[in-house]
Chain A
Amino acid sequence: MEKKSGVIVVNGLPIVQAQFNWSVGFQMQNFLKALANKKFLASKCPECAYVYAPPRNTCSKCYKKMEEKDLVELSGKGMLAGWTTAYVELDGKGNFVDLKKPKLIAAVKLEGANSTLFMPLEDIDSKKLKVGMAVAIEWSPETKGGWKDIKYLRAV
């Protein structure tokens, strides 16, 4: 009997998916619903005053619990803390896709928040990007209460 050595490659079929629907909890639900009214909510810790955007129910600095009463509304304006340019994307099935137009991704410190967020950056001259420049959220014309209500960050 011939003993074979080496390996073979076994390809999985891309048709098999495991599907999920993750519960968001009350604080996140408050946040998502407020987006319908073009409001960006954050949570302010009643103990140490650290502001998380988006909000959460536990402060990770002092472990204090937070509820609906600890929600604060942010102006939607902020400061560009950093950015990068993406030239490829993943298609979710294990393949790289070249982007026809490179995408800008910003790290933004929203006014009133202590934490930083990442959002797409558009409607901006990429040659004029500077850390510290003023940016603001551009809302979708129709807002339904979900992440898609935020279109992108733009220059102010």
Chain B
Amino acid sequence: MFRNCAIIGCGQTKHTSRRRDVSVAELAQQAVQAALDDAGITMKDVGCVVSGNMQGFGGVAQPEQWLGDWIGCPGKPAIRIATGGTTGGSVGQGACYTVASGMYDVSIGVAWEKHSDSKEAGATTGLMHVGMGNLFHALTYGLSLRNLIATSAVGAAAGVAVYQAMFYMHRSGCKQEHLDMVAAKARRNAAKNQYAHLQWPNCRPEDIAKTETIAWPFRYGHVCPASDGASCIVVAEEKTAKRLCKQPAWFLGLASYSDEENQLQSENFGGVGVIDPSEQMGCRVSAKKAYAMAGITDPQKEIDLAEIYQPFPSQELIFSERLGLFDDGTAWRHMEKGETDINGRLPISVSGGVNATNAIGSSALQRILEAALQIQGKAGEHQVPKKVRKAVAHGWGGVTNYITCTVLGDSPR
């Protein structure tokens, strides 16, 4: 049985490419303290700590064992969740489960990433340790090095996202200019978010179009950064939430559907049974389940705001369709008309999203956190002018096959 619970406090650190002023433990702790202060509680009031990150990127295996002291674990159950790019989303849902199940009245969900602790550029370290087994296996069977470099380094310089974008553009008529528009919107919005990483006030699509092409259609200006940062939410059951918080952000629907591997090669270099990585069946199913749990029958009308996990601008368009917010193949037209701007009909990723701030472990939790801030009216300069009654927060990751979908609202179920 799911008992009502809500987010009553949110905390984030400032995200930059190098938070070398703190160790990773101190970074996560800053987010936790900010969330506790926002909720008006202390560590003594917390019953359970749910944490997560992608450990390969920061080079600390099992970091929750080290950080435990800094994020309040002593005396409480400490649960670590790691689901690739959706780690943050699963952490948020995990914190919700611990309260909704009736086991604890107050839980915190904290997620973080410290890419600057790795010497390799961007997120290379994490990808290195993930792919090694498969790589050596294929090399043992005489995979041509030329083919390997061409397809993995050149062809997928931005990961499978570049192929995913090509499928979408071919099917829907979306052009490269539309990707420029989405990337510019993300950086413009991020300039209004004090915690975001890539902040470019008044960024225009022409500014993005001037950047170099990595692999068509992606430019350097389209790609997400590798950020250092942490975020934390405080989840409380109904009575506590109503007592402590003027406007809690209530959990209305949660779902997570993991599809089979969607990305290039599966384990042991086998093929994957998905031809089109922009199909994202997992997202369609998660969205339907989450909306059903939330009692939403027409997402296009009932959802006021969406925080979509979009490290690449094409993904904002693809996933907004898969989440049922726009008809298939039309997202780019709606975006072009300004419907997804801060003051638009259906604002999307007004925090700048993952395209402007990407501390991988924490990114999906930030989507839930930002949706909660909008419902609470606490987003500051990037608060949308319309009243947000229902919002959807999305997470995506794994081998392009994990999805988390969380629906939040301004009143309990």
Contacts and interface: CB of A to CB of B under 8 A. Distances in A.
A26 B27 CA distance: 12
Nearest to A52: B69
B22 A20 contact: no
Interface string A8-30: 10111100101111111110100
A56 B74 CA distance: 16
Nearest to A19: B119
A116 interface: no
Contacts of B155: none
Interface string B207-220: 00000000000000
Given A18-B128, A60-B69, A63-B42, A23 B117 contact: yes
A21 B133 contact: no
A61 B44 CA distance: 11
Interface centre among A10, A13, A26, A57 (most CB of B within 10 A): A10
B387 interface: no
A143 interface: no
A23 B29 CA distance: 15
Interface residues of B, number: 35
B74 A61 contact: yes
A28 B20 CA distance: 12
A65 B30 CA distance: 11
A26 B24 CA distance: 12
Contacts of A58: 26, 29, 69-70
Interface of B: 19-26, 29, 33, 42-43, 56, 58-60, 68-70, 72, 74, 114, 116-120, 125, 128-129, 132-133, 136-137, 140
Interface of A: 8, 10-13, 16, 18-26, 28, 56-58, 60-61, 63, 65
Given A20-B119, A23-B114, A28-B23, 10 more contacts: A8-B140, A12-B133, A18-B129, A20-B118, A21-B117, A23-B24, A56-B69, A58-B26, A60-B74, A63-B72
30 contacts: A8-B140, A10-B133, A10-B136, A10-B140, A13-B136, A16-B128, A18-B56, A18-B59, A18-B120, A18-B125, A18-B129, A20-B58, A20-B117, A20-B125, A21-B119, A22-B23, A22-B24, A22-B117, A23-B20, A23-B22, A23-B24, A23-B116, A25-B21, A25-B26, A26-B22, A56-B69, A56-B70, A57-B26, A63-B42, A63-B72
